[in-house]
A and B are shown apart, each in its own frame.
Chain A
Amino acid sequence: MSCKSTPPHAGMSRRIFLGTTGAAGAAIAVGSREVSAQQPRTGVAPDAHPKIELTVNGYRRTLTVEPRTTLVEALRDTLGLTGTKIGCNLGQCGACTVLMDGRRVNSCLVLALSADGAEVTTVEGLANPDGTLHPMQTAFAEHDAFQCGYCTPGQIMSAIACIDEGHAGSADEIREYMSGNLCRCAAYPNIVAAVEAVRDRKEG
């Protein structure tokens, strides 16, 4: 599924898509205990299915999780946003990088319950509603900054944050601040080139 054939912000179709998968997620909770995540005294029981609220790519979503559900599982399995990848699932490879409240994080190490109320941006939220890709997505394509593509969504999220944080001053600095995203195809030189290109376009 390419970004072009299904633009991430495709207006109504996207809303319907999310609504459907969200309903499927909620249906899992039928017959089990639905509780709020905010129960300080007694806590959320191990077999409970608490509801959390996330704002994902600008859309407010209510979803049902387990205590052990991680943010990446909530995004992929409950909301159907499979652009975010699971690599090591241990916070080492960066494939699951998303922006949470404006900061890049490894979504495999964030518990969904801890993320309750957060604003999340995934790779699906980058392109314009008309399907125009984010400049970083375009730069990755232009600079051939991937081979197999599995790490690419995480690389792109991290690359956007790298520039926004002001850590793209030199190739060395980009390498340092992109070091949390591993690429087993070793597309690193082209990833650095893509980040430099977007940085220069912004500055120019």
Chain B
Amino acid sequence: MRNYTYFKPKSLAEAIDAVRESGGDILAGGTTVVDLMKIGVREPSALVDITGLTMLEGHEIGPDHIRFGALARMGHVADDKALTAAAPVMTEALWKAASPQLRNVARLGGNILQRTRCPYFRDTAYANCSKRRPGSGCAALEGGETNHHAILGGSSSCVAMYPGDWAQALIAFDADVHTRGPGGQRTIAFADLHRPPGETPEIETILQPGEIVTEITVPVVPALKASHYLKARDRESYAFATASAAVGVEMDGDVVRDARIALGGVAATPWRARAAEDSLKGKPLTEATAREAGRIAFADARPLEGSAYKTKLGADVIAGALMTAKSRANGGK
């Protein structure tokens, strides 16, 4: 790991200035940034450690919104029983991510900006990775293994998978991301935060240099209470998703009034499956309609040789998650 200039600002304004003036990377928990620096994928000339900005910690469940500070620790939020009761998908997606040690350090703002685990992005021995070296191609598409690559939202330049879990809960429930940067404050719909790879996979979000995520808010809706995060993976625990689903339902008797479905482990960005949601609205939620929703979610999938299995697995995961959500809507666990 190369040395760098290290800043530890005491205020948000100082932090924004430090990032803008140094051109450095923002450091929060460090579980992505330090990892990428060790393997040579990132070699920033400066790090701006924002963990001193304690006003960005904490979270609270309000009547209209759930607010998450950008520096709240994943583990702390995942352990909140009140949050589990109000919005199970929000804590399930956190505690199924990473190990306890990582969750104790990683912060929510950094978690949503987690970088891909694509082996060719992470291995600098490969020259062709457009996400790492713009315009250099894609080792996965050029004869590489594609077992854990995106079948939704990828491009001819990049099929790297967005690896996060919590982001799926956020996009399913219309979260907003609040930021502060050189241009002042702004609020971004979570669905607009990540950019599809297209021809510039190196640009992953719409955040500007020096723009710092300060808070994430989620509007409280009835479907949050009957929500669930189901994660399929290569082993029982501590692995990235092979396919996952963040779902929630609001029932009106036997009929679905509101449905939320987002997919992890299968797409290039956090992925909302709106057509699948719409297929359920106004209908009874049965195993058949749940399976149909799963099928619809992958209608536009472009499976690669190694990741073809994700189409069926992903549809099954959606169906399974929906049946749990339905049971929760009816007062079950």
Q: Whole-angstrom distance from the CB of A76 to the nearest CB of chain B?
A: 16
Known: A105-B104, A111-B30, A175-B237. A90 touches B99 (CB 8 A): no
Q: Is the CB of A40 within 8 A of B105?
A: no
Known pairs A105-B104, A106-B105, A113-B49; A89 contacts B237 (CB<8 A): no
Report whether A158 and B30 are in contact in the complex, using a CB–CB cutoff of 8 Å.
Answer: no
Q: Which residue from A43, A109, A161, A180 sits with its C-beta under 8 Å from B30?
A: A109
Give every chain A residue within 8 A of B105 (Cβ-Cβ): 103, 105-106, 109-110
| B179-235, CB < 8 A from A | none
Chain B nearest CB from A52 CB (Å) reads: 11
Whether A138 is near chain B, meaning CB under 8 Å from some CB there, is no
Contacts of A181 in B (CB 8 A): 99
Known: A47-B3, A175-B237, A176-B237. A113 touches B8 (CB 8 A): yes
Interface centre among A91, A105, A180 (most CB of B within 10 A): A91
A20 in the interface (beta carbon within 8 A) = no
Chain B residues within 8 Å of A176, by CB = 236-237
Identify B49's interface contact among A103, A114, A165, A179, CB under 8 A.
A114
Known interface pairs A43-B7, A68-B4, A104-B104; A114-B14 also in contact (CB < 8 Å): no
In the complex where A68-B2, A103-B75, A113-B6 touch, is A43 in contact with B18 (Cβ < 8 A)? yes
Residues of the B chain whose Cβ atoms lie less than 8 Å from the Cβ of A104: 100-101, 104
CB contacts between A and B, total, < 8 Å:
113
**Does B46 belong to the interface (CB within 8 Å)?**
yes
A9 and B102 alpha carbons, distance in the complex (Å): 29
Contact with B along A69-110 (1 / 0, CB 8 A): 010000000000000000001110010010000011110011
User: Is A160's beta carbon under 8 Å from chain B?
Assistant: no
- Can you name the residue of chain B whose Cβ is closest to the Cβ of A166? B79
Is A37 on the interface with B (CB-CB < 8 A)? Answer: yes
- The number of chain B residues with a CB under 8 A from chain A is 38
Q: Which of B34-42, B246-254, B287-295 contacts A (4 or more CB under 8 A)?
A: B34-42
B241: min CB distance to chain A, Å = 15
Other-chain contact of B31, A41, A45, A50, A109 (Cβ < 8 Å): A109
A114 touches B51 (CB 8 A): yes
Interface residues of A in 110-153 (CB under 8 A from B): 110-111, 113-114
Chain A positions within 8 Å of B279 at CB level: none
Q: Does A13 make an interface contact (CB < 8 A)?
A: no
**Residues of A in contact, count (CB < 8 Å):** 40
Residue pair B99, A179 in contact (C-beta under 8 Å): yes
**Contact status A158-B3, CB under 8 Å:** no
- Interface members, chain B 275-290 (any A CB < 8 Å): none
Knowing A114-B51, A175-B237, A179-B237 are in contact, say whether A158-B100 is a contact too (CB < 8 A).
Answer: yes
Instruction: Give every chain B residue within 8 A of A38 (Cβ-Cβ).
Output: 8
Judge whether B34 and A70 touch: CB under 8 Å: yes
In the complex the two chains form, what is the Cα distance from A176 to B22 in whole Å? Answer: 41
Provide the residues of chain B in CB contact with A37, threshold 8 Å.
6, 8
B243 within 8 A of A: no
The reply to whether A114 and B4 contact each other, CB–CB distance below 8 Å, is: no
Set of chain B residues within 8 Å of A70, measured between Cβ atoms: 34
Name the contact of A114 in the complex, choosing from B27, B37, B46, B98 (C-beta under 8 A): B27
A53 near B: Cβ within 8 Å?
no
- Whether A46 sits at the interface, judged by CB under 8 Å, is yes
7 examples of A-B residue contacts, CB within 8 angstroms? A46-B45, A68-B1, A90-B39, A113-B8, A162-B100, A165-B100, A179-B99
* Partner-B contacts on A (CB < 8 A): 37-41, 43-47, 50, 66-68, 70, 89-91, 94, 97, 103-106, 109-111, 113-114, 158, 161-162, 165, 167, 175-177, 179-181
Chain A to chain B: the 7 pairs with minimum beta-carbon distance, closest first: A180-B99, A46-B3, A179-B237, A179-B238, A103-B104, A43-B7, A44-B6
| Interface set of B (CB-CB < 8 Å, partner A) | 1-10, 14, 18, 22, 27, 30-31, 34-35, 37-39, 45-47, 49, 51, 75, 79, 98-102, 104-105, 236-238
| Interface contacts beyond A91-B101, A111-B49: sample of 7 additional A-B pairs, CB < 8 Å, sorted by A | A40-B8, A44-B7, A109-B105, A113-B49, A114-B27, A114-B51, A165-B100
